[in-house]
Amino acid sequence: MRELDLNLITETVKEMILDASYNLEENVFKKIREAIRAEENPLGKSVLSNILENDSIASIERMPMCQDTGMVVVFLEIGSEVFFKGDLEAAINKGVKAAYEEGYLRKSVVNHPLERINTKDNTPAIIHTKIVSGEKVKISLAPKGAGSENVSFVKILTPAEGVEGIKKTVLDAIINAGGKPCPPIIVGIGIGGNLEKAALLAKEAVLRDIEDEAKHPLDRQLEKELLYEINQTGIGPMGFGGTVTALAVKVNSYPCHIASLPVAVNIQCHAARHKSKVI
């Protein structure tokens, strides 16, 4: 068994949040450069160029690339041969607090959905845990902004609606969202499971590498078809019209009940802020 110091968890979470807030992944920079070349609307090209400049300045100056610095979502894969002395969730939230205070990041979390008093340190984070084999811990986190989160949802389709029903659900969501999630977007789609599992699948999908493809051939085909169809909507960068509305579509699937077809859509802005680390 391996004892893991909770102070290491705290420090790792803090550094990951700061890194995600300031630094766009190089492969996302690459996607935006490709989008500038592909975009047919001059205004869309200008918007994409401004995004590129903004995100470059954020990295150089160590400033948040967006004023909405998000609510932190953490996925933990904990090795079964690892143990902690103390409160793991408290250690994670300590790291969140330190990042938002030391980095002067906007604190956006309120204590109750109706009372709405700011917690003043952006805690608590939303934490999901999974036990896996081994003696390591993988931390994946995303500071998820509200602009993209507010246009995300779960819908339970009937099995008879099939692929076309899924595509219609996703496209309706994108069209209704318009410019609100700050396109070009990354679209995470969860198919299967049940109500909460579909939402988790979609959230995990937006944490995938922007260059990867789904393992299952049906999911992979759906990713390609939806990316094409979303970019045919004409929404364009920041909703000003154009041919690049999405940079990527990610589909995650899971077995489900014979009588249902759950579909979740989780949208992420162009920044795709997320980090993963194994300790």
Tens-place pLDDT, residues 45-101: 999 999 999 999 999 999 999 999 999 999 999 999 999 999 999 999 999 999 999
Residue 160 exposed, middle or buried by CB count within 10 Å (0-12, 13-18, 19+): exposed
What is the H or E stretch that residue 86 is in?
none
Q: Among positive and negative, which fits the CA dihedral 116, 117, 119, 122?
A: positive
pLDDT value of residue 115: 98
Averaged pLDDT, 222-240: 98
168-173's contacts with Cβ under 8 Å and 24+ in sequence apart are 169/263, 169/265, 170/226, 170/230, 170/263, 170/265, 171/226, 171/229, 171/230, 171/233, 173/265, 173/267
Cis-peptide into 42, omega within 30 deg: no
d(CA 64, CA 140): 19
Q: What number is the average pLDDT over the span 199-218?
A: 97
From the list 208, 227, 243, the residue with the least C-alpha distance to 35 is 243
* Mean pLDDT for the chain overall: 97
Over the stretch 12-29, which tens digit does the pLDDT of each residue have? 999 999 999 999 999 999
Q: How far is CA 253 from the centre of its chain?
A: 16
Rounded to the nearest 10 degrees, the angle between the axes of helix 217-230 and helix 162-177 is 40
CB 233 within 8 A of CB 174: yes
Contact 105, 64 (CB under 8 A): yes
Query: Could you tell me if 249 and 227 are in contact, meaning their C-beta atoms sit under 8 angstroms apart?
Result: yes
- For the chain, state the CA radius of gyration: 19
| Largest pairwise CA distance in the chain | 59
* The overall pTM is greater than 0.75: yes
- Write out pLDDT tens, residues 129-188: 999 999 999 999 999 999 999 999 999 999 999 999 999 999 999 999 999 999 999 999
Q: Does a cis peptide bond (omega within 30 degrees of 0) precede residue 124?
A: yes
Alpha carbon 210 to its chain centroid, in Å, reads: 11
Contact predicate 90/10, CB 8 Å? no
pLDDT at 80: 97
Torsion sign, CA atoms 8, 14, 17, 18: negative
Q: Where in the chain is the domain with CATH 3.30.360?
A: 2-20+65-144
β partners of residue 185? 246
Quote the pLDDT of residue 263.
98
Q: Which CATH architecture has domain 2-20+65-144?
A: 2-Layer Sandwich (3.30)
